[in-house]
């Protein structure tokens, strides 16, 4: 199978009827980045900036962060990289933060909530990303956005940092695209507001699923009980895709769901065109996409979503079998 995936490396992730899908890489460690060439991924759809924070006891300063982000951009060799600002807390423990995680860490003071309460933390990180870009385009997104007000607060911290860079005579990115993750259900009811503010949206299905089903993403006793390839979750994801289409905003999905053959199939069928995943998933997902007929799949899924059943995995597996996927 390895050789089979290897043979697909330079071929496009295109359906039989010509729909192009971008397959991107999720990166945390430098090792992940080295998989860009091996897999033929077209860029980094999610760079988790908290990883360098997690592996040390102190908070890296601007210089250390700049060096780290520069290495990422060099490693990507000109392919686009979407930097996600610090997503601390919940399942991502940062040794240097010794705050009380609270009774429900996933729902507590974490991620962007910490960043807007500690603007200097976010500003240092943004400063480092802007410096590392050194005039090249930058794609940046905020995690765990729950309300547009919170997005605005983070955006104004970015604006202050951009003014600082201008005053200091530093090079600005030739193009700065600012996005939001959608991984908290409340944001799905603010789609017009968030989409009129961002350049792109990225669905974090791991957290979105956790909050949607009220099921801890790390608790094995419940993770298998709720399937993302199911009527309720796909209906939500489709609403998001439809809104992005209406507003003309690029949409990526960067959770684990994108990396499974059936998950990716479902996503393509409801309108997702950019999927970001771990390196090992690129080959299998590309193989699947190249074997499907989008228009058949789209009809099949939209009928399933009307049928009001629960899990759809078996139905999609049957579709795959019937269509030699």
Residues that bind ligand PEP (CB under 6 A): 46, 48, 87, 183, 204-207, 254-255
As a whole number of angstroms, the distance between CA 307 and CA 235 comes to 12
Which neighbouring-strand residues pair with 275?
A: 23, 253
260 binds, among Mg ion, ligand PEP, none (CB under 5 to 8 A by kind): none
270 binds, among Mg ion, ligand PEP, none (CB under 5 to 8 A by kind): none
Is residue 94 within 8 Å of 54, Cβ to Cβ?
yes
130 binds, among ligand PEP, Mg ion, none (CB under 5 to 8 A by kind): none
CB of 183 to ligand PEP, least distance (A): 5
User: What's the DSSP call for residue 271?
Assistant: T
DSSP per residue, 286-319: HHHHHH--HHHHHHHHHHHHHTT-SB-HHHHHHH
205 binds, among Mg ion, ligand PEP, none (CB under 5 to 8 A by kind): ligand PEP
Residue 140 phi/psi, 5° resolution? -135, 140
CB of 210 to ligand PEP, least distance (A): 8
As a whole number of angstroms, the distance between CA 271 and CA 98 comes to 42
Measured from the CB atom, the residue of 43 and 255 that comes closer to ligand PEP is 255
- Pick the stretch among 43-51, 205-213, 224-232, 287-295 that binds Mg ion (CB under 5 A): 205-213
CB of 84 to ligand PEP, least distance (A): 8
Q: Which residues, including other chains, have CB under 8 Å from residue 248's CB and lie 6 or more apart?
A: none
As a whole number of angstroms, the distance between CA 139 and CA 66 comes to 16
Out of 204, 228, 263, 284, point to the residue binding Mg ion (CB under 5 A).
204
Measured from the CB atom, the residue of 25 and 46 that comes closer to ligand PEP is 46
Residues near Mg ion (CB under 5 A): 183, 204, 207
């Amino acid at each position: 199978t390895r050789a089979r995936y290897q043979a697909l490396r330079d071929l496009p992730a295109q359906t039989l009827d010509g729909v192009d899908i971008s397959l991107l890489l999720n990166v945390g460690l430098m090792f992940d980045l080295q998989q860009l060439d091996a897999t033929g991924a077209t860029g980094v759809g999610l760079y988790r900036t908290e990883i360098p924070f997690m592996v040390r006891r102190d908070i890296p300063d601007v210089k250390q962060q700049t060096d780290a982000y520069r290495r990422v951009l060099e490693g990507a060799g000109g392919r686009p990289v979407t930097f996600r600002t610090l997503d601390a807390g919940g399942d991502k423990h940062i040794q240097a933060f010794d705050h009380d995680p609270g009774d429900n860490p996933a729902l507590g003071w974490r991620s962007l909530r910490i960043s807007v309460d500690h603007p200097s933390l976010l500003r240092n990180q943004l400063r480092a990303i802007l410096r590392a870009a050194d005039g090249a385009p930058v794609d940046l997104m905020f995690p765990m956005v729950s309300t547009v007000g919170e997005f605005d607060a983070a955006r104004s911290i970015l604006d202050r940092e951009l003014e600082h860079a201008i005053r200091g005579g530093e090079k600005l990115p030739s193009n700065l695209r600012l996005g939001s993750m959608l991984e908290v259900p409340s944001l799905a009811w603010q789609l017009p507001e968030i989409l009129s503010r961002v350049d792109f949206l990225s669905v974090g299905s791991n957290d979105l699923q956790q909050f949607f089903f009220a099921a801890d993403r790390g608790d094995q006793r419940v993770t298998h009980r709720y399937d993302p390839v199911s009527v309720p979750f796909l209906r939500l994801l489709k609403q998001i895709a439809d809104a992005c289409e209406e507003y003309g905003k690029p949409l990526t999905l960067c959770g684990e769901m994108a990396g499974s053959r059936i998950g990716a199939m479902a996503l393509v069928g409801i309108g997702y065109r950019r999927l970001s995943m771990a390196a090992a998933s690129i080959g299998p997902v590309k193989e699947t996409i190249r074997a499907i007929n989008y228009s058949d799949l789209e009809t099949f899924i939209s009928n399933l979503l009307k049928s009001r059943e629960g899990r759809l995995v078996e139905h999609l597996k049957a579709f795959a079998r019937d269509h030699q996927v």
